[in-house]
A and B are shown apart, each in its own frame.
Chain A
Amino acid sequence: MTESGSPVVSMDAITKTFPGVKALDQVRLDLYPGQVTALVGENGAGKSTTVKILTGIYRPDGGTIRIDGNPVDLTTPNDAAASGITAIHQETVLFDELSVAENVFIGHAPRTRLGLIDRAEMHRAAARLLDEIGAPFGTHTPLRELGIANKHLVAIARALSVDARVVIMDEPTAALSHKEIEELYELVETLKAQGKAILFISHKFDEIFRIADRYTVFRDGAFVADGEIADIDENALVKMMVGRAVDHIFPARRPTVAEEVLQVVGYDHPTEFADIGFRLHRGEILGFYGLVGAGRSEFMQSLFGITRPSKGVCKMNGKIRVIRSPADAVANGIVYVPEDRGKQGAIIGLPIFQNITLPSLGRTSRNGFLQLAEEFKLAREYSERLDLRAASLDQDVGNLSGGNQQKVVIAKWLATQPQVIILDEPTKGIDIGSKAAVHEFMAELAAQGLSVIMVSSEIPEVIGMSDRVIVMRDGRIAAELSGDDLRPETLVRHAAGISTPAPQEA
């Protein structure tokens, strides 16, 4: 570990208030040259707000930001860029129809004397940057031809193109494969060696302990602690983050054999999946495991009536049901919590209570006329059950953190009193504390007789929560596992299509 020296960027007593919510309360954060600082906190701790303040998107209500000890005013994203602060966001905005070089230099392309874009210089500079980060594609390649991982490299090149001294990485590994993550780590080492200060935001603890030099912990918008990673262990960090100890043990469950609720026979789709059939019982948690692209979400969406299967029968409680739209699915007691909660889950712009009651309006209203008192009653009941953190129920759901938005989506569906709830990657991108809460809640729901289908790519979660697991591969069911067969290696073997068991390691 290198000597700390003095910080490049230092945030002191920063406060930011949104209508009804104090997002940040007197927090501080120091970033040192040549070091990776991990910003750790649960959803809603204020990490994203901090990033937005550092990049000039939000203005703080109070406090000072110092660069090299001099107070600065980061009023616009351009101010931040001029100060050498650059961010690689969770979902970086890139332009599919432009070339790689144009994407890298959009907004600050090198100019000729006539003020036109100097294309030759732009491509030379872009090639240098791509070379630096080891990108395996040319500067003339149209962006739309690149995969997610390579697009990510373009985003990184773009961040570095502004002569950055501070690089912010907001969950950079969320969409990457194992190999790509390793390459990212190497890149981080390169940036460190160049003396750049890196702010690293991640929910994955193995990552933090692998590459961070320092940590800063926020909780509920307040500063908790900071220090060197070498001086702390995982448990202590988790404790600071959630304010209590979290056991990683999954809730104990006692599944009982109960009657069948849902039966799916021979679901086919022209391109996405074929011959999907299974049974689901009352109070059961059925896991769906598979690699990305195995057709799990596509099948779930057709079961929920969003896409139409070309063939197949769905029976609820022994009776055949035709589900042509989500409205049909909800009416038959099947609900779906999507993976993409920003677009498909929460309705941003509507208040929390209206989000929760939207599919239940038939019950809270009288003859089609709204009854606000009934709506608030229902919304309060379910938001309290899910421990929702919000200033008020008439607050825009868009002002909530990701984890709390997910709670609103789940509350919305539970309020319809469904028989089958499909959870698509329910804990993706949420922190350990919220994860444990979601797991506990799932177990509780199953115990109350709700049947749960859980699509998950996290093996510990699949094994820890499911009574039975269906493994999908290339749109088909590869295996159905339960009891002692539920082991990580069997799941991976079936998902990847390795037919013979791998030899046991000594």
Chain B
Amino acid sequence: MSDSTLQARPETRHVPDRLNSRAFRTLRSWESLLLAVAIAIFIVNSFASPYFLNVWNLSDATFNFTEKAMIAFAMALLIISGEIDLSVASIIALASTAMGLAVQYGAGTPELVVIGLAVGLLCGAFNAVFVTIMGLPSIVVTIGTMSLFRGISYIILGDDAFRGYPASFAWFGQGYIYWVFTVEMLFFVIIALAFGVLLHKTNFGRAVYAIGNNPTGAMFSGIRVQKVKFILFLLTGLMSGAAAVFLTSRLGSTRPSIATGMELEVVTMVVLGGVNILGGSGSIPGVVIAAFVMGLVTFGLGLLNVPGIVMSIFIGLLLIGVIALPRLWTMAANRRRG
């Protein structure tokens, strides 16, 4: 044994803050990969159809994802924290029904918006009570409320539809802010920024990550885990209520089958955006790009007259493909090395 092995350790050991530069981390991120996919889809689409590069068509295409994305941002936080809400599409149905009912009693646009948001919030609170106070698994609770909320809509509406929304209410889903930019796009940007800041720049967002990675450890670190989760369910409900306002305004009517199956599209968007379905990691920029990817794919295939069922096959393949890609990459790298 040489003498050097017996030397004492230095008094303080310097540990650098970060090893890799910001540019390097960004380049290697999931979001960069997804952005490349989005650009590729954009290029392929613009060759595939002569109608794709029309700004008005592109503007219309954003309706494919703006409403879903509003819910997806809140859902991303919920999934990162280790929970899920599968009742979001049914919340839309119930909120939309409540608004339609209010119209029958002569409610104006401001009242309709308040009612839509309030019903969403209440539904979120209902889920939250069962999950955070009674400690039931969120997947079971929200599968239950998925049937419950939509069931109430069916009881109220039957085979009927509510119509007769005031003209000013159409602004949310059909209005334009400037040129080709819709009101929905504006809210999409505002909500994306709000959730991006909430998740990435606040103490609350840090708590969400901590809970998703280790709920017990987070509780032992003095985080009020159940309170944070309660708020996340409220936010998801609130955003479902907001989506109900926009969707109802765009369609101009309410049927109990409104937004059927949308919960799975929302979850797909979140997972495609790089959020770990088991919780703990993911980002809002990822979900934003995923929203565009899904919107562009549906729009491009729509221009080519591809039927809806084929579209959903394509979205499914895209999801599995994009998720498998990094894994295939590391497997290939290991093989080369091994």
| Chain A residues at the B interface, C-beta cutoff of 8 Å | 19-20, 59, 61, 73, 75, 219, 224-225, 239-240, 243-244, 306, 325-327, 329-331, 336, 338, 343-350, 353-354, 358-359, 361-362, 365, 368-370, 376, 380, 383-384, 387-395, 412
Contact = CB atoms under 8 A, between A and B. Distances in A.
Contacts of A336: 220
B209 A350 contact: yes
Contacts of A392: 15-19
Interface in B199-227: 201-206, 209-210, 212-214, 216-224
Interface string B174-202: 00000000000000000000000000011
B32 to A, nearest CB: 18
28 contacts: A19-B19, A73-B338, A224-B1, A243-B5, A244-B6, A306-B219, A325-B222, A326-B222, A329-B222, A336-B220, A343-B214, A344-B216, A345-B217, A347-B213, A347-B217, A348-B217, A349-B213, A349-B280, A354-B209, A359-B222, A361-B203, A369-B202, A370-B202, A370-B203, A391-B15, A393-B15, A393-B17, A394-B17
Interface of B: 1, 5-9, 12-19, 201-206, 209-210, 212-214, 216-224, 280-281, 334, 337-338
A394 to B, nearest CB: 5
Contacts of B217: 343-348
Given A362-B203, A380-B15, A387-B12, A219 B220 contact: no
Contacts of B214: 343, 346-349
A347 B219 CA distance: 10
B17 A325 contact: no
Given A347-B210, A391-B15, 19 more contacts: A75-B338, A224-B1, A244-B7, A325-B222, A327-B222, A336-B220, A343-B216, A347-B221, A348-B217, A349-B209, A353-B17, A354-B209, A358-B222, A370-B202, A387-B9, A387-B12, A392-B17, A393-B16, A412-B221
Q: Give the one of B202, B218, B222, B338 with max A CB within 10 A.
A: B222
Nearest to A242: B9
A384 B334 CA distance: 36
A396 to B, nearest CB: 10
A345 B216 CA distance: 8
Contacts of B219: 306, 326
Contact of B203 (A240, A329, A365, A393): A365
A43 to B, nearest CB: 14
Contacts of B17: 353, 376, 380, 392-394
A350 B208 CA distance: 11
Contacts of A343: 214, 216-217
A246 to B, nearest CB: 11
A59 B202 CA distance: 39
In the complex, the 6 A-B pairs of residues with the closest C-beta atoms, listed nearest first = A349-B213, A330-B222, A392-B19, A361-B203, A347-B217, A327-B222
Contacts of B204: 368
Contacts of B12: 384, 387
Contacts of B15: 380, 383-384, 388-393
A390 B14 CA distance: 9
A271 B70 CA distance: 48
A288 B14 CA distance: 35
A152 to B, nearest CB: 25
B220 A306 contact: yes
A244 B1 CA distance: 13
Contact of A358 (B16, B201, B210): B210
Nearest to B214: A347
Contacts of A354: 206, 209-210
Given A354-B206, A393-B16, A348 B222 contact: no
Given A345-B220, A347-B217, A225 B206 contact: no
Nearest to A371: B201
Contacts of B5: 219, 224, 240, 243
B222 to A, nearest CB: 4
Nearest to A245: B6
B296 to A, nearest CB: 32
A358 B214 CA distance: 13
Contacts of B281: 349
A400 B31 CA distance: 27
